[in-house]
């Protein structure tokens, strides 16, 4: 193709240490002289046809010691997202592994995203990247019941298997998930679809026309010896299922942390609640997501949400546009 621009790309499986598990991610790497239009970015994301594709600006040939801020854009096949968990975790692992070193969070290494600045670090020994994610947590007034889900044909296992009322939780404006607690892992495996359209009932500005509303089904599987809460989840958007959803995991963790204020370790008035979340098992793409929520015991305000996970490189090459 005459005059075509040649761009490097890599693909990763994210929230896993094994190839062909977790959630797949494409990262397209622009050097300091390369630019793309919004239309070109969207075309590239559509070509990869992954749940998300990252456009990483000004990276090639620059190590993390030379540059502490990395601009990235996140695209689905049909729109740009302000934030998503697995693309940022995967990109953090890529940058760290490209440098061959760990990334020290004290050096203020961060991504610049449409949702704001996201500090991140990477531990070389554990191969886990961690993000301090942006959040504008909002629990919507709208609540639905298991009967609502059964009547909508979303679950075929009986409304009695839905635990309590179902809230809608936004982690940032424009990204909302219905948090549907189910009674057992077997019932979780029988969830069939995402939700019908409830957008018109949700609070603005956290919801707006065209914003994402997913169904995040989960089961509480107790705690491990150090008090980490164990969850198993599935995220469905219509008939599509996501192997790992960091933004939904972060929102669910923040929502559930409020009920752990008297049972989790604290420093002064700040309580830290840790979660280990398994997703993608029913798809054959097991993912492990780590979250930690710092929340004020007195005000119930979420002060910090940390998202963590590993990623492994699968492919690399070049594309032309």
pLDDT tens across 3-39, in order?
789 999 999 999 999 999 999 999 999 998 999 999 9
Return the closest-CA partner of residue 219 out of 186, 245, 242, 268: 186
User: What would the pLDDT profile of 177-190 be if each residue is shown by its tens digit?
Assistant: 999 999 999 999 98
Over 90: is that where the pLDDT of 307 sits?
A: yes
Q: What is the CATH code for 6-134+310-320?
A: 3.10.310.10
Band (pLDDT 50/70/90 cuts) for residue 65 is low
Going from N- to C-terminal start, the domains of the chain cover 6-134+310-320, 138-306
Which two structure tokens, joined as six digits, stand for 310? 């590993």
Cα 222 from Cα 184, distance rounded (Å) = 12
What is the DSSP secondary-structure string of 229-248? EEEEEEEEETTEEES--HHH
Confirm if 297 and 268 have CB atoms less than 8 A apart. Answer: no
Residues forming a β-bridge with 274: 292
Over 90: is that where the pLDDT of 62 sits?
A: no
Q: What is the CATH code for 138-306?
A: 3.10.310.10
Cα 207 from Cα 210, distance rounded (Å) = 9
Task: Note the pLDDT of residue 199.
Answer: 86
Same fold, 6-134+310-320 and 138-306: yes
User: What would the pLDDT profile of 74-118 be if each residue is shown by its tens digit?
Assistant: 999 999 988 889 999 999 999 988 876 555 544 568 899 988 889
Q: What is the mean pLDDT of the chain?
A: 90
Out of 197-211, 268-282, 293-307, least confident range? 197-211
Residue whose entry in the numeric block shows the structure tokens 């020994």: 125
Length of the chain: 321
Cα 54 from Cα 89, distance rounded (Å) = 11
Element (DSSP H or E) covering residue 93: helix 85-99
Task: Note the pLDDT of residue 106.
Answer: 45
CA triple 66-290-68, angle to 5 deg:
10
Element (DSSP H or E) covering residue 123: strand 116-123
For 19, other C-beta atoms within 10 Å of its C-beta total 12
Over 90: is that where the pLDDT of 275 sits?
A: yes
Over 90: is that where the pLDDT of 142 sits?
A: yes
Task: Note the pLDDT of residue 67.
Answer: 61
Which two structure tokens, joined as six digits, stand for 220? 């509480």
For 162, residues 6+ apart whose C-beta sits below 8 A from its C-beta are 145, 146, 149, 155, 180, 181, 182, 183
pTM of the full structure? 0.91
Confirm if 291 and 275 have CB atoms less than 8 A apart. Answer: yes
């Amino acid at each position: 193709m005459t005059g075509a621009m040649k761009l490097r790309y890599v693909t990763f499986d994210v929230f896993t240490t094994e190839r062909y598990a977790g959630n797949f991610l494409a990262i397209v790497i622009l050097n300091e002289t390369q630019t793309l239009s919004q239309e070109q970015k969207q075309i590239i994301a559509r070509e990869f046809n992954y749940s998300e594709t990252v456009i990483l600006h000004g990276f090639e040939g620059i190590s993390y010691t030379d540059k502490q801020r990395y601009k990235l854009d996140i695209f689905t096949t049909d729109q740009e997202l302000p934030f998503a968990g697995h693309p940022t975790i995967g990109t953090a692992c890529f940058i760290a592994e490209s440098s061959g070193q760990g990334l020290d969070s004290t050096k203020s290494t961060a991504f610049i995203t449409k949702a704001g600045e996201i500090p991140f670090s990477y531990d070389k020994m554990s191969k886990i990247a961690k993000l301090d994610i942006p959040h504008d947590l909002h629990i919507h007034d709208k609540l639905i019941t298991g009967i609502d889900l059964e009547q909508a044909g979303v679950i075929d296992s009986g409304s009695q298997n839905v635990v309590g009322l179902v809230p809608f939780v936004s982690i940032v404006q424009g990204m909302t998930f219905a948090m549907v607690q189910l009674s057992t892992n077997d019932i979780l495996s029988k969830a069939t679809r995402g939700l019908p359209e409830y957008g018109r009932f949700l609070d603005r500005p956290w919801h707006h026309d065209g914003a994402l509303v997913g169904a995040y089904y989960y089961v509480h599987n107790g705690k491990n010896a150090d008090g980490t809460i164990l969850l198993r989840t599935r995220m469905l958007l219509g008939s599509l299922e996501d192997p790992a959803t960091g933004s939904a995991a972060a929102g669910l963790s923040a929502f559930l942390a409020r009920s752990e204020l008297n049972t989790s370790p604290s420093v002064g008035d700040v309580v830290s609640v840790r979660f280990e979340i398994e997703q993608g098992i029913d798809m054959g793409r097991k993912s492990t997501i780590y979250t930690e929520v710092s929340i004020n015991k007195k005000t119930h305000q979420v002060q910090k949400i940390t998202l963590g996970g590993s990623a492994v490189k699968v492919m690399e090459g070049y594309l032309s546009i």
